Amino acid sequence: MKFLKTRRKRKRILNSDLDMGILSEKKLLIGVSGGIASYKVCEVIRQLTDLGASVQVVLTKHAANFVTALTFETLTNQPALTEMFPEDGMVATRHIDVPRMVDRLLICPATANLIGKIANGIADDLLSSMIMVAGAEKTTVCPAMNTDMWFNPIVQKNVDALRELGYSFIDPGFGELACRTEGIGKLASVERIVSRMRIELLYSNVFKGKNFLITAGPTREFLDPVRYLTNASSGKMGYALAEAALSRGANVKLITGPTVLDTPEGATLIEVNNAVEMEEAVKISYPSTDILVMAAAVADYAPIRASRSKIKKGKDDLTLGLRRTPDILGSLAKSKEERIHVGFAMETENLIANARKKIQEKNLDLIVANNLLVEGAGFETDTNVVTIIDREGGEMSLPNMSKRELALTIMDEVAAFVGTRSSQIKSAIHV
């Protein structure tokens, strides 16, 4: 049976060039404590609500000195919660009811004071009480504070204790702080926070314990210290696949060519420049890999000889000698064993025929094929239009959708293939 016909159906918005609706029906409670970084939460809220999430804010009295409750109410279209004992007729048990009803609690920013309260079981206001009810498995903490405060042994002890209990952390980054010094303590970027929320709100454990190796981006083959051969790949598809695999519980190693993208929260990043470096990185990680997804646009040719100095412009035309680069997928075909291999085919003609040929030549289980000339597909776009083909001939054409939504769909197909293979193995054992 072709597994593409048995794929699990999942609600999504089609024909969209954005991720609108990807978090629809997800409920998120954001706890804001009193730090200067609280103003950045406004952009976090905007991006998450754009993705369809229902967001409500609970803020401490100190937080209200930085950003007003009215601001959060305007952004979320829901009441901002501030008082433990409301005078507005709201239910007095909301410190219990609200955290029970949401899918996730994000504390952003989390001050040293609030972290200390959580670690020591103090629930003396509405936010800290809600954190006690939500518990560790449901809570993500985004610390933000001065460097000296962050590295204070007491703070680090509290953070370690919370990690051990199962609280999820998005660690602070390095940068300029409110006190005009530089150091670690700056709130994680909006992109990192939103990425983690996408992963955690969409989380399932279908790939728990599975090791994914995903490649992304272009490679650069240098002609001289100034110039190189490359392509227009942005890496967006590979990075979206890494995030999607993380949201399905996988361990993810991401090998990437040069990009300007933020690493998906939780992925192990390995940066390379050229095809030879990518081949070496893949082969080092391959033995421990369960599922290989080759989404990188690896250059097919490289200069036979790179110049050590800049090639000067002369009066005559320049002829370049090119050699083939390593065929990474092809070289792994014979050593594949029980691993799952997923490839990509980017074509401008004979899409399906070329993709089917590639499945056979490279011993693939799945191939994702797209025509770069189709509107909405190809490099440097936020969308793609693809056909997914399996090794048994099953074929599924998908409409224009965001690369993040497509990545989730591809992960569904990989999961379906893994499930089908497991069923076949069990049947063979019983026979």
Quick one: 284 and 264 in the same domain? Answer: yes
End of a domain among 146, 168, 199? 199
- The answer as to whether 257 is a domain residue is yes
CATH number of the structural domain spanning residue 419? 3.40.50.10300
Quick one: 50 and 33 in the same domain? Answer: yes
Quick one: 266 and 187 in the same domain? Answer: no
Per-chain mean pLDDT for the chain: 88
Q: Which domain holds residue 294?
A: 204-306+320-430
CATH number of the structural domain spanning residue 78? 3.40.50.1950
Quick one: 217 and 339 in the same domain? Answer: yes
Q: Judge whether residue 363 has pLDDT over 60.
A: yes
Instruction: Render the burial of 324-345: b for 16+ CB within 10 Å, e for the rest.
Output: ebbebbeebeeebeebbbbbbb
- The answer as to whether 20 is a domain residue is no
| Residue 383 pLDDT level (bands cut at 50, 70, 90) | confident
Q: Judge whether residue 1 has pLDDT over 70.
A: no
179 DSSP 8-state letter: T
Joined tokens for residue 92: 């007095």
Quick one: 398 and 296 in the same domain? Answer: yes
Quick one: 89 and 179 in the same domain? Answer: yes
Q: State residue 219's pLDDT score.
A: 95
- Tell me what percent of the residues of the chain surpass a pLDDT of 70: 91
Q: State residue 246's pLDDT score.
A: 97
Q: State residue 7's pLDDT score.
A: 39
Q: Judge whether residue 9 has pLDDT over 60.
A: no
- Dihedrals φ, ψ of 57, to 5°? -115, 140
The more confident residue out of 377 and 182 is 182
Instruction: Render the burial of 190-218: b for 16+ CB within 10 Å, e for the rest.
Output: bbbbbbbbbbbbbeeebbeebbbbbbbbb
End of a domain among 173, 199, 225? 199
Quick one: 184 and 216 in the same domain? Answer: no
The more confident residue out of 158 and 393 is 158
The more confident residue out of 428 and 312 is 312
Q: State residue 422's pLDDT score.
A: 52
Q: Residue type at 123? A: A
End of a domain among 174, 199, 224? 199
Quick one: 328 and 248 in the same domain? Answer: yes
**What pLDDT, in 10s, does the model give residues 90-132?**
666 878 889 999 999 999 999 999 999 999 999 999 999 999 9
Q: State residue 19's pLDDT score.
A: 60
83 DSSP 8-state letter: -
Q: State residue 214's pLDDT score.
A: 98
- The answer as to whether 17 is a domain residue is no
| Residue 430 pLDDT level (bands cut at 50, 70, 90) | very low
- The answer as to whether 125 is a domain residue is yes
CA distances from 406 to 13, 18, 20, 137 (A): 11, 11, 13, 28
| Residue 22 pLDDT level (bands cut at 50, 70, 90) | confident
- Tokens 């081949």 belong to residue: 279
The more confident residue out of 307 and 86 is 307
**C-beta of residue 190 within 8 angstroms of C-beta of residue 144:** no
- The answer as to whether 5 is a domain residue is no
Q: Residue type at 50? A: D
> Which residues are known catalytic residues?
179
Give the number of domains in the chain. Answer: 2
Ranges 38-42, 310-314, 379-383, most confident:
38-42
- The answer as to whether 8 is a domain residue is no
Quick one: 276 and 144 in the same domain? Answer: no
Range with lowest mean pLDDT among 61-70, 208-217, 334-343, 346-355: 346-355
**What pLDDT, in 10s, does the model give residues 61-80?**
999 999 999 999 999 999 99
- Tell me what percent of the residues of the chain surpass a pLDDT of 90: 70
Q: Judge whether residue 287 has pLDDT over 80.
A: yes
- The answer as to whether 87 is a domain residue is yes
Distance CA 186, CA 345 (A): 41
Quick one: 263 and 125 in the same domain? Answer: no
Which helix (DSSP H) or strand (DSSP E) does residue 55 occupy?
A: strand 54-59
**What pLDDT, in 10s, does the model give residues 310-322?**
988 888 888 889 9
Range with lowest mean pLDDT among 163-167, 218-222, 310-314: 310-314
Quick one: 245 and 376 in the same domain? Answer: yes
The crossing angle, in degrees rounded to 10, of helices 236-247 and 190-201 is 50
Quick one: 226 and 193 in the same domain? Answer: no
